Amino acid sequence: MIIGINAAAAIKQPRTGVEEYTYQLIKHLTMLPEAREHRFILFVPLDTNKANIANNYANTANKNLPQPLLKEGSRSLPLELAPYLIRGRAGEDLFGFPLPANFVIKELRWPLPFLWTQIRLAWEMLVRPPEVLFIPVHILPFFHPKNSVVTIHGLEYEYFPEYYPWLHRTYLRWSTKYALKHARKIIAVSENTKQDLIKLYGGDTSKIEVVHHGIINPPQPSFKKEGVEKDSSLFKGRLGGIFKEGEREVRRPYLLYIGRIETKKNIEGILEAYKILKEKYQIPHQLVLAGAPGYGIKNIKNQISKIKNKEDIIFTGFISEDTKWQLLKGADIFLFPSFYEGFGLPVLEAQATGVPVVTSFNSSLPEIAGEGVLFVNPKNPTQIAEAVKKIIDDQNLRDKLIQSGYENVKRFSWEKCARETLLRITNKYEYTDSS
C-alpha cells in the first residue's frame, strides 16, 4: 500500500505537542517491521528561503527510487521524479533520523507561509493521490483520497473560546467538522476527545477510534536525587527569563511546570497557589515555569509583579529536550492544573522521571494520569496549594505517587502508538477514487 503522510509538523522547530506527536509517530513507523510491506511518502513544504535539501540528493533520488513505489499491485502511482522527491540519507538531515528505503520525502513548493495544506497539498492529492492519506494534525485538505485517516487532538477551543482569536477558532471548528465528515477514519488521542467529538459535533462513533500518544524513555540523569543538597544549583547561568531580569539560578527544592505560558494552561492559578504556599506555609521552593510565552502573557506578568516572593519565580523560555528532562529530574513536584487537555503528555513525562504530580480532574487527565497524581479543581488555587503541601509533608504519600506513576507510564509507548495507528490506516482497506 502507498501511504501519504502530511509530515509538515514533524520538521517544525521548536516542536511542541502536535509537532512532537507527528515527529515521534513517523520515527517509530520507520522502525516497525510490519511497516516494511508498505510505501510511505512524507509530504513537507519546500522551504524556498533556505537551501533545498533535495538538491544535495537529487541524483540519488532519481536513480535509486524503489520501483514498488511507482506501482503497487494493479494500481500505478504517477509520481514525477522531480528534485523534490528525496529519500535515504536526506531524511536524517531533515527529520533527525534516517529513513529506510520504503520512505521517501516529497517537498511541495509553496510561496506563502500559510494555506500549504488546503491549497498545495490539496492540489497534490488531486493530481497525484496516494492510496491512503494520513493527517496527524486534524486539517484534512479539500481534495484528498476517500481513504483518509485524520488524528484529532482535542477541542479546547470549544470549551474556552475566549482564549482563541475569532478567525483561528472558526477555522479550527470548520476543519475539525470537515475531517469528521469526510475522513474514512478518525483517530482520537484519548477517550475524552472521542466523547467530545460525539457530544459536540455528533460524530459517528463507529469511525472514531482511540490511540493514545506514547512517551520516550527518559535519558539517564546527570545527577542523583539522593545526596544532593537542597540548595545545590542545577542550571547556574544557563536559563534566561522572558522578563530579561538577568540570569538567575534554579535551585532545589523547586516546583515545576512545563508547557506554554498562557492563560488556558492556568498559569494564573499556579501563581496564586504559589503565593499561598509562600505566605501561609513559608515553603522554601522556587517556582520554575518552563515554556514559551503564549496567550495572556501580559496579564501573567502583571500578576507576578504583585507577588511578594516574585524573585523565586523563574521563567526559562522555550527549553531543549535535554534541559526539559534535567529540570524534571530535579523537580520536587510537577504542577499541571490545566483547564483542558486533549492528552496531557507532560504528566506522563513527570511520572516517568519519578516526580509526584498535581493535576486537574478534568478532560483527558484522569484517563491518562491514572493513580499516580493528586487531582485538584483547577479553578481552586487553595486546593492546588494544599495538594502541594500534602506531598511536601507526607513522605509515604510521595513514595506512593512516584511508584504509581512508574506503573502508569508502562501503558504508553510510541512503538505502541505507531503500531496501532498503522492498523487504523490499513485496516479493511478498499481502494476508491479520490474525492
Q: Domains of the chain, with CATH numbers?
A: 2-214+414-426 (3.40.50.2000), 254-409 (3.40.50.2000)
Query: Are 356 and 402 within 8 A, CB to CB?
Result: yes
- Per-residue pLDDT, 259: 93
- Per-residue pLDDT, 90: 55
Mean pLDDT, rounded, for 273-297: 93
With b meaning 16 or more CB within 10 Å and e meaning fewer, what string describes 284-302?
A: ebbbbbbbbbbbbbeebee
- Per-residue pLDDT, 201: 95
- Per-residue pLDDT, 247: 58
Question: What's the rounded Cα separation, in Å, for the pair 149 and 5?
Answer: 10
20-64 pLDDT per residue, tens: 999 999 999 999 999 999 999 999 987 544 433 333 333 333 334
Mean pLDDT, rounded, for 262-276: 94
In a 3-state reduction of DSSP, which class is residue 192? Answer: helix
Asked whether residue 14 carries a pLDDT value surpassing 60, the answer given is yes
Asked whether residue 222 carries a pLDDT value surpassing 60, the answer given is no
Beta bridge partners of 210: 188
- Per-residue pLDDT, 89: 43
Average pLDDT of the chain to the nearest whole number = 83
More confident residue, 392 or 89: 392
Mean pLDDT, rounded, for 119-148: 94
**Interstrand relation of 333-336 and 357-360 (parallel, antiparallel or unpaired):** parallel
**Contacts within 8 Å (CB) and 24+ apart, 374-377:** 374/401, 376/337
Asked whether residue 273 carries a pLDDT value surpassing 60, the answer given is yes
Min mean pLDDT across 87-101, 111-125, 241-255 is at: 241-255
In a 3-state reduction of DSSP, which class is residue 224? Answer: coil
What percent of the chain has pLDDT above 70?
Answer: 81
- Per-residue pLDDT, 433: 41
Asked whether residue 419 carries a pLDDT value surpassing 60, the answer given is yes
More confident residue, 89 or 374: 374
Query: What separation in angstroms does the CA of 289 have from each of 185, 224, 229, 314, 428?
Result: 38, 22, 22, 6, 46
Task: For residue 385, name the pLDDT band (cuts at 50, 70, 90).
Answer: very high
What percent of the chain has pLDDT above 90?
Answer: 62
Question: What's the rounded Cα separation, in Å, for the pair 59 and 56?
Answer: 8
Give the pTM.
Answer: 0.83
Place of cell 527510487: 65
- Per-residue pLDDT, 279: 94
Neighbours of 223 (CB within 10 A): 12
Place of cell 474514512: 184
**Interstrand relation of 132-135 and 2-6 (parallel, antiparallel or unpaired):** parallel
More confident residue, 235 or 23: 23
Dihedral through CA 41, CA 46, CA 51, CA 52, nearest 10?
30
Mean pLDDT, rounded, for 351-377: 96
Task: For residue 223, name the pLDDT band (cuts at 50, 70, 90).
Answer: very low
Neighbours of 366 (CB within 10 A): 16
- Per-residue pLDDT, 307: 86
More confident residue, 225 or 403: 403
Task: For residue 179, name the pLDDT band (cuts at 50, 70, 90).
Answer: very high
